[in-house]
Amino acid sequence: MTRLEERFGDPYNADNPFGHRTILDADERSTVAEGAEAVLDEFGLNAEFVPEALGGRLVEVDELVRRLRPVFRRDASLGLGYGVTSLMAGLNVWLGGSDVQRKWLADLLLGGGKASVGYHELDRGNDLTNNEFAATRTEDGLVLDGRKEVINNAARADAAVLFARTGGKGGGRDHSLLLVDLHQLDGGTFRRLPRYRTLGLRGVGLSGFEFTGCAVPDSALVGDLGQGSDIALRSFQVSRCVMAGTGLGILDAGLFGVLRFALERRLYGQTVAELPHARATLAGAYADLLTADALVTTATRALHVLPATASAYAAATKLLVPTLLEEAMNALSVVLGARFYLREGDYAGFGKHMRDLPPLGIGHAGGISCQLTLLPQLSRLLRALGDPAPAAVFTAGAALPELDLSRLRLFAPSGDPLLAELAAHGTHPGIAAALAKLTADVAALPARDTGVAASPAALDLTDRYAALLAAASVTGYARHNAVPDGWAELALSRLAERLTPSAALPATHPAAEGALFADLLDRATTGSGFCLDRDPVHRTLAQ
Same domain, 196 and 269: no
Same domain, 452 and 507: yes
What pLDDT is stored for residue 22 in this prediction?
96
What pLDDT is stored for residue 19 in this prediction?
96
The answer as to whether 243 is a domain residue is yes
The answer as to whether 507 is a domain residue is yes
The answer as to whether 536 is a domain residue is no
Beta strands in 182-216 (DSSP E): 190-193, 206-216
Same domain, 77 and 130: no
Same domain, 19 and 126: no
What pLDDT is stored for residue 504 in this prediction?
62
What pLDDT is stored for residue 361 in this prediction?
75
The residue count for the chain: 543
What pLDDT is stored for residue 366 in this prediction?
79
Q: Which helix (H) or strand (E) holds 176?
A: strand 175-181
Same domain, 326 and 469: yes
- Which CATH number goes with the domain that contains 477? 1.20.140.10
Closest CA to 96 of 180, 182, 221: 221
Q: Is the pTM of this model over 0.85?
A: yes
Confidence of residue 543 (pLDDT cuts 50, 70, 90): low
% pLDDT > 70, the chain: 98
Same domain, 422 and 353: yes
Same domain, 110 and 159: no
- Which CATH number goes with the domain that contains 180? 2.40.110.10
How many other C-beta atoms are found inside a 10 Å radius of the C-beta of residue 325? 25
Residue 344: C-alpha distances to residues 276, 312, 539 (Å): 28, 42, 19
The answer as to whether 39 is a domain residue is yes
Same domain, 489 and 363: yes
Total domains, the chain: 3
Confidence of residue 341 (pLDDT cuts 50, 70, 90): confident
Same domain, 254 and 163: no
Give the burial class of 338: count Cβ atoms within 10 A of its Cβ; 0-12 exposed, 13-18 middle, 19 or more buried.
Answer: exposed
Average pLDDT over residues 380-397: 94
The answer as to whether 89 is a domain residue is yes
Distance CA 500, CA 446 (A): 23
Same domain, 493 and 413: yes
Domain boundary among 225, 248, 274: 225
Same domain, 240 and 148: no
Same domain, 350 and 386: yes
Which residues are 125's β-sheet partners? 121
3-class DSSP state of 310: helix
Radius of gyration of the chain (CA): 23
Average pLDDT over residues 291-306: 99
If one compares 523 and 120, the residue with the highest pLDDT of the two is 523
**pLDDT score of 157 more than 80:** yes
Domain boundary among 114, 148, 179: 114
pLDDT tens, residue by residue, 245-268: 999 999 999 999 999 999 999 988
Domain boundary among 114, 130, 154: 114
The answer as to whether 459 is a domain residue is yes
The answer as to whether 294 is a domain residue is yes
The answer as to whether 342 is a domain residue is yes
Where in the sequence is the domain holding 458, given as residue range(s)?
230-526
What pLDDT is stored for residue 497 in this prediction?
94
Confidence of residue 363 (pLDDT cuts 50, 70, 90): low
